[in-house]
Amino acid sequence: MTDQSRLLAIGAVAERTGLAVSAIRFYEEVGLVNSTRADSGHRRFHRSTIRRLSFIRICQQLGYSLDDIREQLDVLPDKRTPNESDWNRLSSGFVLDLDQRIAGLQLLREKLDGCIGCGCLSLAKCELYNAGDSAATLGAGPRYLLGDKMVTSAKSTE
Amino acid sequence: MTDQSRLLAIGAVAERTGLAVSAIRFYEEVGLVNSTRADSGHRRFHRSTIRRLSFIRICQQLGYSLDDIREQLDVLPDKRTPNESDWNRLSSGFVLDLDQRIAGLQLLREKLDGCIGCGCLSLAKCELYNAGDSAATLGAGPRYLLGDKMVTSAKSTE
DNA sequence: CCTTGATCTCAAGATTACTTGAGATTGTAC
DNA sequence: GTACAATCTCAAGTAATCTTGAGATCAAGG
């Protein structure tokens, strides 16, 4: 067994990740992280959970839903502690996605610049509108953002 | 008065913007657009509403909340139809904001690349985490995204 | 031992952004 | 003039992401 004394209480995890205790409980409930229990019934988290939660926070700031993130995290091994190459596999997909986003924003910026230059008044018909047109509505609730889904590193371009 | 026959019914606006009729009603309710009424009680929208709604859609895809967007749109004149330079003022702030986002993503990308290279295992303490750390929680509900607020073109850097 | 803080569970509330449904009215094409 | 589509209002529902509250238990210091 792993050294028990190195396991963390939920408050410690909250402090190290900057998340609220309630948020961490919620993330466990929806299966984004897991914990063991002490005899008292208190949750005990493995230290690698901090890394996992940090990843979640970054992804969220990029606009991914928790479902998207869970999908990504599912490539990490369940039984053993994720190692360097596990995390690197995740990160590569991440970089691909970032590149797409950057390219998308740059395109939008150019279009917008063009629009300012030409002063066109029919935004609805101009290129700018069409540039942002692809990622339309995806059901109810808060809308998704730039780009619909995260790029999975394993998936080829088809 | 402006030519009445050029006013649009809500269905026509929906068709031209790709928004649902219910969404347009909702946007009116929360003060993002406004309409006059025909004798029948049916809404009539000015054609410039299409442009306004297009702007809203683009902003949403960039992750702005409707509150953010309303704030931005408030710089447009209420009484007269927004003209070229009105829209250009809006667009300039937009471009500034896009530039910030692009820079932020590029920074994140570099950090991430560095992380892959160094294979560091303490994500919570590494630069990557701190890079995405600024835009933390802002109350309840769905989280905000890259960058907290839209850049207003009028506002100077202070 | 006693107090104080951390933790537990479970239910309910909050926020954003809409959609859906019911029941009524209007507009239009044949 | 009679369908049938479009529109109206108003209330309620949905989805994602958490937070808050109540009431109980656990842990650690004095």
pTM of the model: 0.75
Q: Using CB atoms, pick whichever of A50, A99, A115 lies closest to residue B124.
A: A50
DSSP A34-56: --EE-TTS-EEB-THHHHHHHHH
> Is B59 buried (19+), middle (13-18) or exposed (0-12) by CB count in 10 A?
buried
**Closest chain B C-alpha to A54 CA, distance in angstroms:** 6
Residue at shortest CA–C1' distance from C13: B140
CB environment A88-127: b (16+ within 10 A), e (fewer): ebbbbbbbebbeebbebbeebbebbeebbeeeebebbebb
pLDDT grade for B24, boundaries at 50, 70 and 90: very high
Task: Please give the residue that has the higher pLDDT: either B26 or A64.
Answer: B26
Please count the CA atoms within 13 angstroms of the CA of B140 that sit on its side-chain side.
1
Residue in B129, B133, B151 to test binding to A, most A beta-carbons within 10 Å: B129
Read off the pLDDT of residues B49-105 as tens digits, 9 standing for 90 and up.
988 998 898 888 777 899 989 988 888 887 787 777 787 777 777 788 888 888 878
Q: Where are the domains of chain A?
A: 3-110, 115-158
- pLDDT score, position A5: 58
Per-residue pLDDT of chain A (158 residues; tens, 9 = 90+): 445 558 999 999 999 989 999 999 999 999 999 999 999 999 999 988 988 898 898 888 777 899 989 988 888 887 677 777 787 777 777 788 888 888 888 887 877 776 655 545 444 445 555 444 433 332 223 333 333 344 444 333 33
Chain A nearest-CA distance from B72, in A, is: 16
pLDDT of residue A135: 33
The pLDDT assigned to B115 comes to 61
Measured to protein CB atoms, the chain D nucleotides within 7 Å are 6-9, 13-20, 25-27
Contact residues on chain A for B99, CB-CB shorter than 8 A: 109
Inter-chain touch A109–B102, beta carbons under 8 Å: yes
Distance CA B127, CA B123 (A): 8
The per-residue pLDDT for A25 is: 98
The arrangement of secondary structure in A3-110, i.e. its CATH architecture, is Orthogonal Bundle (1.10)
| Chain A 17..56 CB hits on strand D (< 7 A) | 20, 22-23, 25-27, 38-42
| Predicted local distance difference test score (pLDDT) of residue A8 | 96
CA dist A9 and A35 (Å) reads: 10
